[in-house]
Chain A
Amino acid sequence: AQTVTQSQPEMSVQEAETVTLSCTYDTSENNYYLFWYKQPPSRQMILVIRQEAYKQQNATENRFSVNFQKAAKSFSLKISDSQLGDTAMYFCAFMKQGRNTPLVFGKGTRLSVIA
């Protein structure tokens, strides 16, 4: 079974600064996907960024980028130029490739962006 670990329950960052959220996972699969989701107080789950395990290049989406280390099973999220609207819970998630593949979530990191 796959597990996802987020070791930072809470973090804070000053507005306009950069912050990195950590995520490690355990799997014996070779083909899989990794995701970071944002959950603001509205509770809506919003996909921030995704990474296919077969891709060596780290994914980027505007101010969000990942550091994917497949051998170390590490998948950290970097948020640059933090904004007040980035305040939310952030969940790391794993999905193996193929049918019958639900997401496995970490417990989340609560990020607060301070003005």
Chain B
Amino acid sequence: NAGVTQTPKFRILKIGQSMTLQCTQDMNHNYMYWYRQDPGMGLKLIYYSVGAGITDKGEVPNGYNVSRSTTEDFPLRLELAAPSQTSVYFCASISGGPRYEQYFGPGTRLTVT
């Protein structure tokens, strides 16, 4: 099992550019999440999905979009990048109950200048 994979690992964007952060898991988990981690802070939830075709907003969704066409993939789209989106982005998946085991990807460091 590869677990949760994210691409790219690093990216520099100019203000106003767009990009997609890729996230894939091979554990057949229904629950998937996108978090952002600003310097010196904990993780904040951007969007989440409880299964293919179902997504919902988290705490900080503005400036982002997601889709979930398959169980495996949960891409995060940044439209019109802004300096405030400079952060480290983590994708995660969670197995079902009762253990609810969590698996995190390695993160994507994004800089918007």
Q: Which residues of A contact B (CB under 8 A)?
A: 4, 33, 35, 42-45, 47, 91, 93, 95, 97-108
Q: Contact: B100 with A107, CB < 8 Å?
A: no
Q: Is the interface of A mostly helix, strand, loop or mixed?
A: loop
Q: Tell me the count of chain B residues lying within 8 A, CB to CB, of chain A.
A: 24
Q: Which residues of B contact A (CB under 8 A)?
A: 31, 33, 35, 40-45, 48, 50, 56, 58, 88, 90, 92, 94, 97, 100, 102, 104, 106-107, 109
B72 to chain A, nearest CB (A): 19
Q: Contact: A102 with B48, CB < 8 Å?
A: yes
B8 to chain A, nearest CB (A): 14
Q: Contact: B48 with A103, CB < 8 Å?
A: no
B42 interface neighbour in A44, A91, A98, A102, Cβ under 8 Å: A91
